Structure 1
Amino acid sequence: MNLSAVIITFNEEKNIGRCIDSLLPVVDEIIILDSYSKDKTLEIITGKGLTYHQREWTDYSDAKNFANAKATGDYILSIDADEELSPALQQSIRQLKARNPANAYMVNRITNYCGQWIRHCGWYPEYKLRIFKREGTHWKGAVHEDLVFASEPEIEKLQGDLYHYSYPTVDSHVKKVMQYARLTAENRYKKGKRYNLLWHGIFKPWVIFFKKYILQLGILDGYYGFVISVLTSFFHFLRYINYRTFQQEDRACKKNIV
């Protein structure tokens, strides 16, 4: 197996070095696609002896497909800049490369939230399909991208965690909630998804909080388990608000045309 790691970046100076360091011992090449970072991301990349590609941002799937096309390995390890291979996962990948591989592999991701590893709230275990054959695959979806296979793949799970450093502060989580709420609302509105006030605006946020904090044992993650449960609930409420905004803007536009 010849393994190419693929990363897309934008202003990842706090994360990219850690990510690269975890990849160097186990992959055959690292492909980096940058969307014109304005911080020290590129300086860190070149400082580690690597090169990069650049182009303007479009969406997640398009960026990943473009970067995958630059890879030369028969298998791809898709990893985000704020992720890191744990020592146990590195060892699993070494063992994988020494035998006849399956078509694809899932890894178990664990998230570090403000310095604390989150093991509940429905966040762990969180299996992600990250290693796969380059030929016959492509990413699809503007926001939450999915990997599409030309034929039904044989998928196995690897031992070891993928460390995820997505939320260094609560404020970073709030900003991401607001960003993704708008993106997913716009995506679903364009696809004709219908939302209503009673369920999506009022009841569903409360149901989500109860699910995260009680049923998925977010309470065992302490203060941050509570924060995560609240912000996940808020995401669903905010998504509804954004959906209504797109709906009203669309109606106003059509009225003006008439």
Structure 2
Amino acid sequence: MISVLILTLNEEVNIGDCLDSVAWADDVLVLDSGSEDRTVEIARDKGARVLHRAFDDFASQRNYGLEEGNLRHDWVLHLDADERVTPSLREALRDRAERDEHRAYRVPSKLMFQGRWLKHAGMYPTYQVRFGRREALTFTQVGHGQRGAPPPEQVGTLDEPLLHYAFSKGISDWVRRHNRYSSDEAEHAREMRLRDVDWTTLMTGGVQARRRSLKDLSYALPFRPLLRFLYVYVGRLGLLDGRPGFDYAVLLAFYEYLIGLKRREHARRSGEPSVEASADAPLEADPQEA
């Protein structure tokens, strides 16, 4: 009934547990982008099919898997190797596929850090469109991440979350990845202009659509690292998550600082006018949903 598509690159630490969490699926495709560890070996030992494609961006990887992966079922669940499907989510996925009320679904995720769920600092629930009909669910690249493409009226929302172990390979790996991500986000922020903000969606759209518009609007704010820290740790009550909540808020502020540095570096090299010079200039930074 449901095919599973998993993206991997050097995920020997994660892929076994990820595949175990979807052992109920009779069609699992691992789309690998050049792993040099035991990722592919473990995936095959667990019974998954493996397809190779050089990585360019997340959206293109997922779309390639949909188009070239010979998936057996109409309904597809998209995963990263550091995510896990709980039994409750499995039942919710099967129920939605049988009822067929929408063409795609947003799936919430619980961010796990230092052995606990970051209920507050992790900004739960945040959603991504990860489950849907194969012909309807394609992706577009935005910054370093991807967004599902179906029109909002065709997208439903699940209550049961994925578990996201974003730090399963350690802090150093998280920092390396977010160094790369910050370059993509700085480029996206450089191209974004105030006139591109969807003001109608900001005022009247659904929760997820409003978050995206607020994200676009927030590029123009000064002191992004400090504001991000205060929003996560105080505004979202990350302080209730104890030391893990504080540490995560600091990491996000550091990530915002990298984006701003890279944005300003590009502006100096290209002679681009500063953000302060004109409200129509490209905006400065991007509050990445990490």
Q: Determine the C-alpha separation between the residues in 2 that align with 1:40 and 1:244.
A: 40
- Scaled by the length of structure 2, the TM-score of the pair is 0.77
Q: 1:228 aligns with which of 230, 244, 248?
A: 248
- Cα–Cα, structure 1 residues 203 and 98, in superposed 2: closer, same or farther, change >3 Å? closer
Q: Is the 8 A contact 1:13 1:39 kept in 2?
A: yes
Q: Determine the C-alpha separation between the residues in 2 that align with 1:243 and 1:121.
A: 26
Question: Residue 60 of structure 2 aligns to a residue in which SS?
Answer: helix
Superposition map of 1:49-88 within 5 A? 49-69=47-67, 70=69, 71-88=71-88
Give, in angstroms, the shift of residue 49 of structure 1: 2.0
Moved more, 239-248 or 211-220: 239-248
The Cα offsets for residues 112-132 of structure 1, whole Å up to 9 and x where unpaired, read as 112221100252122222111
Superposition map of 1:83-94 within 5 A? 83-94=83-94
Q: Is the 8 A contact 1:177 1:231 kept in 2?
A: no
Is it true that 1:114 corresponds to 2:134 in the alignment?
A: no
Moved more, 170-179 or 160-169: 170-179
- Scaled by the length of structure 1, the TM-score of the pair is 0.85
Q: Is the 8 A contact 1:209 1:230 kept in 2?
A: yes
- Cα–Cα, structure 1 residues 187 and 100, in superposed 2: closer, same or farther, change >3 Å? closer
Give, in angstroms, the shift of residue 223 of structure 1: 0.7
- Cα–Cα, structure 1 residues 120 and 36, in superposed 2: closer, same or farther, change >3 Å? same
Q: Is the 8 A contact 2:129 2:147 kept in 1?
A: no
Question: Aligned residue for 2:13?
Answer: 14
Q: Gapped runs of 5+ residues in structure 1?
A: 253-258
Give, in angstroms, the shift of residue 204 of structure 1: 2.2
Q: Determine the C-alpha separation between the residues in 2 that align with 1:86 and 1:125.
A: 16
Higher strand content, 1 or 2:
1
Q: Determine the C-alpha separation between the residues in 2 that align with 1:124 and 1:95.
A: 23
Q: Determine the C-alpha separation between the residues in 1 that align with 2:231 and 2:188.
A: 25
Q: Is the 8 A contact 1:88 1:159 kept in 2?
A: no
Question: Aligned residue for 1:178?
Answer: 179
Q: Is the 8 A contact 1:104 1:131 kept in 2?
A: yes
Moved more, 13-22 or 243-252: 243-252
What RMSD over aligned residues (CA atoms) do the two structures have, in Å?
2.2
Question: Residue 6 of structure 1 aligns to a residue in which SS?
Answer: strand
Q: 1:212 aligns with which of 193, 208, 232?
A: 232
Give, in angstroms, the shift of residue 35 of structure 1: 0.7
The Cα offsets for residues 57-89 of structure 1, whole Å up to 9 and x where unpaired, read as 111111111011122421211111110101211
Q: Gapped runs of 5+ residues in structure 2?
A: 195-219, 273-290
Moved more, 202-211 or 54-63: 202-211
Q: Determine the C-alpha separation between the residues in 1 that align with 2:261 and 2:239.
A: 28
Give, in angstroms, the shift of residue 101 of structure 1: 4.1
Give, in angstroms, the shift of residue 159 of structure 1: 3.6
Q: Determine the C-alpha separation between the residues in 2 that align with 1:192 and 1:76.
A: 32
Give, in angstroms, the shift of residue 193 of structure 1: 5.0
Q: Is the 8 A contact 1:22 1:86 kept in 2?
A: yes
- Cα–Cα, structure 1 residues 99 and 136, in superposed 2: closer, same or farther, change >3 Å? closer
Q: Is the 8 A contact 1:57 1:63 kept in 2?
A: yes
Matching residue's letter, 1:158: L
Question: Aligned residue for 1:3?
Answer: 2
Give, in angstroms, the shift of residue 156 of structure 1: 2.6
Matching residue's letter, 2:4: A
Give, in angstroms, the shift of residue 209 of structure 1: 1.2
Question: Residue 165 of structure 2 aligns to a residue in which SS?
Answer: strand
The Cα offsets for residues 29-52 of structure 1, whole Å up to 9 and x where unpaired, read as 112211110000011011012221
Matching residue's letter, 1:233: A
Q: Is the 8 A contact 1:16 1:41 kept in 2?
A: yes
Superposition map of 1:140-179 within 5 A? 140-141=140-141, 143-149=144-150, 151-168=151-168, 169-179=170-180
Q: Is the 8 A contact 1:104 1:153 kept in 2?
A: no
Q: Is the 8 A contact 1:103 1:153 kept in 2?
A: no
Question: Aligned residue for 2:95?
Answer: 95
Matching residue's letter, 1:62: S
Question: Aligned residue for 1:249?
Answer: 269
Q: Is the 8 A contact 2:111 2:122 kept in 1?
A: no
